[in-house]
Chains A and B, each alone.
Chain A
Amino acid sequence: MKHALKRKLIQIVAFGYSNPYLMNFKGGKLYQGKWKQFCNPGLNCYSCPAASLACPIGALQSVNGSKNFTVSFYVTGLLLAFGVLFGRAVCGWLCPFGLVQELIHRIPTPKFKLKKVFLYVKYVVLVVFAFVLPIAVTDYMGMGKPAFCQYICPAGTLEGGVPLLLANGALRQTVGSLFTLKMAILIVTVIGCVLVYRFFCKTLCPLGAIYGLLNKISIYGLKVDGHKCIGCGKCRQICRMEVDPVKSPDSAECIRCGECAKACPEGAICVGFAATGQKSERQPS
């Protein structure tokens, strides 16, 4: 089976197990079973009527901002486990919103690359919106709000907000300026994803920031064999996450899609659980 097709099928399966309750769209209701005590490894809003699992970033903020706890060991532990096992392979293979972005990017238009400085915005979003604001800004009961979900997350607007408002007339009466802001962010994100490959992953996703930091030690990794590499640069040219796998196989931006390994004419790049993520040096000739 072709590598690209295999990855796409796994992404579709991941999207399917994340959102199996499609009939809930009709009534505008949420799945309320026990699976929702577990977090999805990828970004998928738990207020999406079809969602089967909890959103890890939403869950992290809700525990961090709850009355009884200030730090979520449970969600942090799950994220650490996913990150150590897979790193950003979660983004490339398992994230439902990642698949949505890839499909949007297929719309035929001129495509652009991002300046490197924008790649650091997601770390600011992670610290400020997922940690600082939910813990520091609390109401009279001592509870914080999930600031990333509230002010930024376009996945929540797309998967939860839009379908629920379409299905529920009473909810439509409560639409205000916040929803306008979130729709504006969603529209900017969609346009960004049309023009730039995985625009949201690169610039705003706090989950991508966490997994990116863990890419350096993740068990699912990328290895470049320096003995085989002829320095042709084909891997760098084909990478849509703008990574040079030869220079930085552990880059925080690498989503382990494996396109570089497929493009390498010498078979010098290996992606998988067997790859250590380390570049072996070329022997002097």
Chain B
Amino acid sequence: MDSRAKRVARIAGLFTACGFVLYGALRGEVSVVLNKAVNLCFECIGLG
């Protein structure tokens, strides 16, 4: 991959990432993550 293509891919990647984070946050994914993370995950510790 030449340096110009790399630069384009980086800019596109960062814009896509920002768009995804905003869209995900607006449709309420953050509360799903928070809810999962603050409660004991039985699967994670091998009991679920």
Contact = CB atoms under 8 A, between A and B. Distances in A.
Given A54-B33, A54-B37, A183-B46, A72 B9 contact: no
A93 B31 CA distance: 29
Contacts of A80: 13, 16-17, 20
Interface in A243-279: 250, 276-278
Given A77-B16, A77-B21, A150-B43, A63 B29 contact: yes
B32 A63 contact: yes
Interface residues of B, number: 38
Contacts of B1: 216-217, 250, 278
Interface string B34-48: 101111110111111
Interface in B5-40: 6, 9-10, 13-14, 16-25, 27-34, 36-40
Contacts of A161: 44-47
Q: How large, as a class, is the contact surface on chain A?
A: 35 or more
A272 B47 CA distance: 42
Nearest to B36: A62
Contacts of B38: 30-33, 36
A34 interface: yes
B36 A74 contact: no
Contact of B20 (A68, A77, A175): A77
Interface stretch (A5-13, A39-47, A196-204): A39-47
Contact of A149 (B2, B22, B32, B43): B43
A9 B23 CA distance: 36
Interface string A214-243: 101111000000000000000000000000
A46 B44 contact: yes
Contacts of A175: 46-47
A105 interface: no
A69 interface: yes
A192 interface: no
A167 to B, nearest CB: 12
Interface of B: 1-3, 6, 9-10, 13-14, 16-25, 27-34, 36-41, 43-48
